[in-house]
Structure 1
Amino acid sequence: MGQSRGVLGVQAAVLAAVLLWCGVSSGVSAQWQTVVKNAGISTMHAAVTHYGNVILLDRTNIGDSQLPLPAGVCRKNPADRADTNDCTAHSAIYSPNGNKIRPLFIFTDTWCSSGQFDGSGKMVQTGGDADGLSKIRNFSPCGDNGGCDWDETNTPLQAGRWYASNQQLPDGTQAVVGGRNAFTIEYVPANGRGQYQLQLLKDTNDAQNDNLYPYVHLLPNNNLFIFANRDSCQYNWQTNTVVRNYPTIPGEPRNYPSAGSSVMLPLYSPFNGAEVLVCGGAAAGSFSNPGAMMPASNTCGRINPLAANPGWAMETMPQRRTMGDMILTPDGNVIIINGASKGSQGWGYASDPVYTPVLYYPGAAAGKRFQTLAGSGTPRLYHSTANLLPDGRILVAGSNTHQFYTFTGQFPTELSIEAFSPPYLGGERPGLTVGGIAYGKAFTATVTYGGALNGNIALNMASAPFVTHSYAMGQRLLALAVGKPVAAGAGKYTVDATAPPSGTIAPGGYYMIFAVANGSPSYASWVKL
């Protein structure tokens, strides 16, 4: 076991923070900070709660982690493959204020599971492997000094779901889509509904199962855009029918285990249009032939699902990438981060880590949308995550290319957590004060900004997705309708705005709202719809 990741001094190591400034000749300057040298667990799933702390979650069926549970607390699970009396944690809550890690207790196996926050701000976490295959788990967040923990319910999923995707809906339920050998959609809570077959999932189930962790986006017309492998459809979740099918995206398979990623680009008031971006993936057959280390995809496809004749507009990324995470930024762009340039997802199935993130500017002209940023020196490969924090940084964690925790070899299990500060954090940042908001209602935000304004102040709302396996479930960014800023004293402005019109545009729950002045975002204020 490597000494830097060994058992020694876990409590001290968890709190250690080391500042690193990284630059590469091809990259734009940006700040990387190692905020936790040893979190005790390797993060496979992550989500930011409305308290600003972060749920970290790994699989349970791997033996001991390096984060002890409280004295006398152990997982006594006879179904565990590695340790039937495990006294270490496989989930934790990370507090960015103070870099504290608190262990959480979870019993059933969460390997390759799914989840999303519901309208109350509770994490609803579904499926997994082994004894977790049909499990529904809840986590009701609390502040940094609270004692909240996982609650594993006795109501099972209607089908075992491993590698499924969740999407919060306007009626307060979640659609749970697909999974290995699960070609159906179900809803949590079910509210009397059963399972519904989705032919797309059957038709895209190739030899590699490249239809896993399907990309699911709630469109402004209240239908779902569902993408699996290289194909996609528009699905009416109220009638459980396919409304239309879309052209096949050119290039390589895009979903797990080929591991591209997808976002719905920011929605702008009056919220009657949408575009979906899909980037990266692996060469066909890469997962079936891992020794070949085939070059990953270097393309992105962009489509307007609500257009009369939608088609894919293709672009070339600055580098090939599989297992890249795509994160919507507070100023309305996209960061692509993590991953490798060869291979696919799988234990030891990828090589040539891509250290440099890229910024994608949706509003720029075709051919001028990518900007390469400065990179970290830490490989983030299989089972890594990236989440937007309320302060605008990107929290990057995880990477375990092995079945169990392994601290030897080329790509050892990674227990550190980093925070990446993109270039938009380099300017003077505004301050923001905003009260409660309600669907379709006008509200006023107070913004402080010491510099000279170059244009209006934007107010952008970002959801807090559940991130796993290169896909951020439930991620959306809304650019609100705003008036011109009105001076209200030295360096102070009021901005009149209108909240999203309905749960179709912004499903109920907590959102981060950012004020953006001259391209620089404020620290987020949490609002609840």
Structure 2
Amino acid sequence: MAKYASSSRWLLQSLIFTILWTVRAQLPGTWELLVPNAGVASMHTAVTRFNTVVLLDRTNIGPSRKMLPKGHCRIDSNDVVLKKDCFAHSVVLDLQTNQIRPLMILTDTWCSSGQFLPDGTLVQTGGDLDGFKKIRKFEPCEPGEFCDWVELKDVELANGRWYATNQILPDGTVIIVGGRGTNTVEYYPPRKNKNGAIELKFLADVEDNQMDNLYPYVHLLPNGHLFIFANNKAVMYDHEGNRVIRDYPALSGGPRNYPSAGSSVMLALEGDFSTAVIVICGGAQYGAFIERSTDTPAHGSCGRIVATDPKPGWEMEDMPYGRIMGDMVMLPTGDTLIINGAQAGTQGFEMASNPCLYPVLYRPDQPVGLRFMTLNPGTVPRMYHSTANLLPDGRVLIAGSNPHYFYKFGAEFPTELRLETFSPEYLSPDRANVRPVIEGIPETVRYGEAFDVFVSVSLPVVGIIEVNFGNAPFATHSFSQGQRLVKINVTPSVPDSGRYRIKCTAPPNGAVAPLGYYMVFAVNQGVPSVARWVHLVA
């Protein structure tokens, strides 16, 4: 009888495994291990115009798993772990070869912020301890060339910034918003007559015992103002006049910002570019951070608001899973991928459990109740300090996860050094015949300029081929700072010497698309091309 019972249990387990594997195999999307060991757990991640990726961690994390070049060490008598630190805490990934090169970073970048400047330079601001007021730059280069972090010595932040958010503005300057105990904004480069920090009372008004005003969600609206969300409230902020010009209704469901761990995107701008829709999803239950509760269920509610409406209100819906620390990635199609995170707990070291392995696709054009699609699950938990970034080939790079104060590999949720990619369904083999290839596109375009894009497609084109501008944001702590997708106006494609020609009009101004480098995708029947980098200038 015992033998029969054991056999029955084995058969039942095999059946359950087969069913689960079959269901998993039928879900859209595929995973790939890209790099087995990146050397660092990426807390901050950004894709450069040279198809490289900058990965950045804290400097006072102790030994990483990537050494600096021989003879290069960071000396810091205040470092509690390594006074002489010869380990890399930032690296650059070459997407062509998947090779990793160590970078030198000198001051602490823990929970800092960043944004690309119009010339493609990554500016990185703040952090903890000796990095509190620091400004750093990384000017990217071709993979075979040498470029590294430069710490500015002649200028520093007016206020220290820890857990701040950066956003590029229409004039190409970067606004730096908030931070722990810092309820102000400032600019880089400093604006004339605005060389210091400027109080933003809204951030102080929404501060609470959980500090849920940290890493505020900041979106540049097409009217040139900023949508700033912190805790459960939002304002429209006139950064030129330093005034709040609109208070939005509170979002139900509790706080969403750090450490309550929701995420946010602004949906694709299109048409006449006058309408901006903001979506905010997920978060921890209030009190989970204060109580250090790792098993309090996350909620799965999403709020959606037309921020440019005269009388805006939140439209609520629920994701398939409660989720904290999820990353929302704008795909070239205009859909949003929600990936990474956990289903219980809160942000913070060792303060979450039950990893959410299932990505979700948010389809904004569908009606309420039909917008979410569950995708093929991963196998690697991506908890606190993980990131997700769109790559030029349409895949999404998944990096990081270090829910511990130092690197720790023997834990239930260990420090994660593997890099993975997730390929949405649009990259499946059965769609290869409709995937366009950009054969010709200008390297530089000006606001409002008419230009042609030439594409080739294996099958005859049916319908409109979109041309969409997606920038490269700075991803950290479940929010991609500066993330943006603009669907520019195009005419129907016409055959032209074995290719198709699409007449396009560049974005009209810096409020719709700030100056800088963009990944430009041609999208045919929901399938994007490999992007070409285009410099958008005034």
User: Smaller-chain TM-score range?
Assistant: over 0.9
Does residue 513 (structure 1) correspond to residue 507 (structure 2)? The answer is no
Does residue 431 (structure 1) correspond to residue 437 (structure 2)? The answer is yes
Q: 1:461 to 1:516 in 2, by over 3 A?
A: same
Kindly report which structure 2 residues correspond to 1:332-343, keeping only aligned pairs within 5 A, or say none: 332-343=334-345
The answer for the alignment partner of 2:68 in structure 1 is 69
The answer for the alignment partner of 1:177 in structure 2 is 177
How far residue 164 of structure 1 moved from its aligned partner, in angstroms, is 0.1
Q: Secondary structure at the match of 1:346?
A: coil
How far residue 103 of structure 1 moved from its aligned partner, in angstroms, is 0.2
Structure 1 residue ranges, 4+ long, deviating more than 4 angstroms after superposition: none
Cα-to-partner distance string for 1:108-149 (whole Å, 9 max, x where unaligned):
000000000000000010000000000000000001111100
The answer for the alignment partner of 1:158 in structure 2 is 158
How far residue 269 of structure 1 moved from its aligned partner, in angstroms, is 2.8
How far residue 361 of structure 1 moved from its aligned partner, in angstroms, is 0.5
Q: 1:526 to 1:292 in 2, by over 3 A?
A: closer
Structure 2: unaligned runs, 5 residues or longer: 1-20
Q: Secondary structure at the match of 1:376?
A: coil
How far residue 366 of structure 1 moved from its aligned partner, in angstroms, is 1.1
Is the CA contact (8 Å cut-off) linking 2:265 and 2:280 kept in structure 1? yes
Cα-to-partner distance string for 1:363-411 (whole Å, 9 max, x where unaligned):
1111100000001100000000000000000000000010000011100
Q: Secondary structure at the match of 1:355?
A: coil
Distance (whole Å) between structure 2 residues aligned to residue 162 and residue 144 of structure 1? 31
Cα-to-partner distance string for 1:499-521 (whole Å, 9 max, x where unaligned):
00011111111000000011110
1:447 pairs, out of 432, 442, 455, with: 455
Cα-to-partner distance string for 1:165-208 (whole Å, 9 max, x where unaligned):
00001112110000000001111111341222112211111101
1:285 pairs, out of 264, 287, 291, with: 287
How far residue 219 of structure 1 moved from its aligned partner, in angstroms, is 0.3
How far residue 359 of structure 1 moved from its aligned partner, in angstroms, is 0.5
The answer for the alignment partner of 1:244 in structure 2 is 246
How far residue 253 of structure 1 moved from its aligned partner, in angstroms, is 1.1
TM-score normalised according to structure 1 size: 0.94
Say how many residue pairs are matched.
507
Cα-to-partner distance string for 1:193-240 (whole Å, 9 max, x where unaligned):
122211221111110101100000000100000000100000000011
The answer for the alignment partner of 1:47 in structure 2 is 46
The answer for the alignment partner of 2:188 in structure 1 is 188
How far residue 58 of structure 1 moved from its aligned partner, in angstroms, is 0.2
Q: Secondary structure at the match of 2:515?
A: coil
Q: Secondary structure at the match of 1:201?
A: helix
Q: 1:367 to 1:404 in 2, by over 3 A?
A: same
Distance (whole Å) between structure 1 residues aligned to residue 78 and residue 190 of structure 2? 28
1:357 pairs, out of 351, 356, 359, with: 359
Cα-to-partner distance string for 1:290-322 (whole Å, 9 max, x where unaligned):
235211111100001111110100011000000
The answer for the alignment partner of 1:465 in structure 2 is 473
Cα-to-partner distance string for 1:49-82 (whole Å, 9 max, x where unaligned):
0001000000001111110100010001112121
How far residue 245 of structure 1 moved from its aligned partner, in angstroms, is 0.5
Structure 1: unaligned runs, 5 residues or longer: 1-21
1:381 pairs, out of 383, 400, 407, with: 383
Distance (whole Å) between structure 2 residues aligned to residue 24 and residue 499 of structure 1? 43
The answer for the alignment partner of 2:95 in structure 1 is 96
The answer for the alignment partner of 1:7 in structure 2 is none
Larger-Rg structure: 2
How far residue 23 of structure 1 moved from its aligned partner, in angstroms, is 7.2
Q: 1:243 to 1:26 in 2, by over 3 A?
A: farther
Q: Secondary structure at the match of 2:383?
A: coil
Is the CA contact (8 Å cut-off) linking 2:294 and 2:344 kept in structure 1? no
Is the CA contact (8 Å cut-off) linking 1:60 and 1:110 kept in structure 2? yes
Residue type of the partner of 1:176?
Answer: I
Q: 1:142 to 1:365 in 2, by over 3 A?
A: same
Does residue 474 (structure 1) correspond to residue 482 (structure 2)? The answer is yes
The answer for the alignment partner of 2:321 in structure 1 is 319
Q: Secondary structure at the match of 2:85?
A: coil
Is the CA contact (8 Å cut-off) linking 1:165 and 1:214 kept in structure 2? yes
